[in-house]
Amino acid sequence: MLTDSEKALARAVLIHGPISRSALTTRLGLSPASLTRLAKPFLDRGLLVELDDTSDGSVGRPVRPLDVAPGVGRFVGVKLTGEALHAVATDVRASLLDSVSRPLASTAPGDVAAEIARAIDELGLTEPSGVGVSVGGSVRQDRVEYAPFLHWEDVPFAELLEHVVGVPVSLENDLVALAEAERWFGLGRGIPGFTVITIGAGVGYGLVVHGEVVRSREAGLGLGGHLPLSANGPVCQEGHRGCAQAMLSSGSISAQVSASLQRPVEYAEALDLAAAGDPAARAVVDAAADALGRFVALAANLTLQPATVLAGEGMGLFAVAEDRVRSAIDADRDPRADPIQLYVDDTAFTAWARGAAAVAIQAAVDRLRLD
């Protein structure tokens, strides 16, 4: 196992590399000599590389940046929904190499594990360095405590899948995993605190404070999805009027537009109709945009973190109603408060699967040995 300072070095280069030695000593609070000593075993083992001398412009001093060696590690991230799995192959920085989706004919844990093994084959990775799996539900110590879409209760899925695929498996709640990916490799890189709001089949909420993702049992319960956002909205399955699910989930938006137009309308078509100016679709989408803006503002107001990453497979809503979302944010924000920095991850299911890969990458750093 790595010491704490070795781990900090590995993380800093992974997240911020290529990074100059001077930037590293500042970031890690080390002397140049200590950094040289700390980095040596990583360089000797070919995990890190020293790039060619370049100048940072200040009196021509050499910078000699450090970076992760190219080709170190290949990872798989898998997002499970009730109907399908979405898998990605990534490099050690969770950059996308390939992706595949497969329907789930059965959600029995053994069948899902077999389907993941097929997806890994399809991705062409014979022996990945790690596999990460994310699910909507509560996850504790590599067990799924409760995942309603999969109808799982207390399933030791990491262990089960490790037997099938023969490599280390990391299991995490999907919102936590997504927040980890945004924090280490995504739009939240370098931002100490931010909220994550996802829209799609469901509505999810995650939180990063002081550079760490908030991980609690509550994080897996999806409570933010039922935050009340509108007094006049439709009712969710649990009976809340105008909650986040009722206002923002793709199923609720398509159901409202379908009811108005008296024909079945899918989510994507509902957004297209709104963009084209259909009044019924526009009214539903505008109300959703108002609710999303309120959600962003409330999240910032309550957590005191004025930055939000928006993600999820339903982000098309933001594309057709961005101005309305931004006005709604302003309406619920004190003008003396910092403006909210809004980051939009529009990579849909890829964002979820990359989240799972990021968790596998973090676990691989924790497993690293230098002896």
Beta bridge partners of 48: 68
Q: How far is the CB of 246 from Zn ion (least distance, A)?
A: 6
Residues 279-308 that bind Zn ion (CB under 5 A): none
245 binds Zn ion per the rule CB under 5 A: yes
The one-character DSSP state at 46 is T
DSSP state of 201: S
What's the rounded Cα separation, in Å, for the pair 264 and 74? 43
Closer residue to Zn ion in complex, CB, 183/240: 240
C-beta of 20 vs 256, nearer to Zn ion = 256
Query: Which range of residues in 90-98, 175-183, 245-253, 325-333 is near Zn ion by CB under 5 A?
Result: 245-253
The single residue among 201, 243, 265, 311 that binds Zn ion, judged by CB under 5 A, is 243
Pick 245 or 256: Cβ nearer Zn ion? 245
Beta carbon of residue 8, minimum distance to Zn ion (angstroms, whole number): 41
| φ and ψ at residue 207, rounded to 5 degrees | -145, 135
For position 240 contacting Zn ion by CB under 5 A, the verdict is yes
CB-based contacts of 142: which residues, under 8 Å, 6+ apart? 156, 157, 158, 159, 169, 170, 171
Judged by beta carbon, residue 75 or residue 146, the one nearer Zn ion is 146
Q: How far is the CB of 244 from Zn ion (least distance, A)?
A: 7
Q: Give the nearer residue to Zn ion in terms of CB position, either 74 or 226.
A: 226
C-beta of 235: minimal distance to Zn ion in Å? 8
Block residue for tokens 């010491």? 3
176: tokens are 């936590």
Count of residues binding Zn ion (CB under 5 A)? 6
- The piece of 7-15, 31-39, 229-237, 308-316 that touches Zn ion (CB under 5 A) is 229-237
In the numeric block, the tokens 């008296």 are attached to: 262
Element at 273 (helix H, strand E): helix 267-275
**In the complex, minimum distance from the CB of residue 238 to Zn ion, in angstroms, rounded to a whole number:** 5
Does the protein bind Zn ion through residue 205 (CB under 5 A)?
Answer: no
- Six-digit token string for 283: 């009214």
279 contacts: CB under 8 Å, gap ≥ 6: none
Q: How near is the Cβ of 144 to Zn ion at its closest, in Å?
A: 23
Q: Considering beta carbons, is residue 128 or 312 the nearer one to Zn ion? A: 312
Q: Cα–Cα distance between 58 and 367 in angstroms, integer?
A: 38
**DSSP states of 276-328 as a string?**
TT-HHHHHHHHHHHHHHHHHHHHHHHHHT--EEEEESTTTHHHHHHHHHHHHH
Q: Which is nearer to Zn ion, 111 or 238 (CB)?
A: 238
Site residues for Zn ion per CB under 5 A: 226, 236, 238, 240, 243, 245
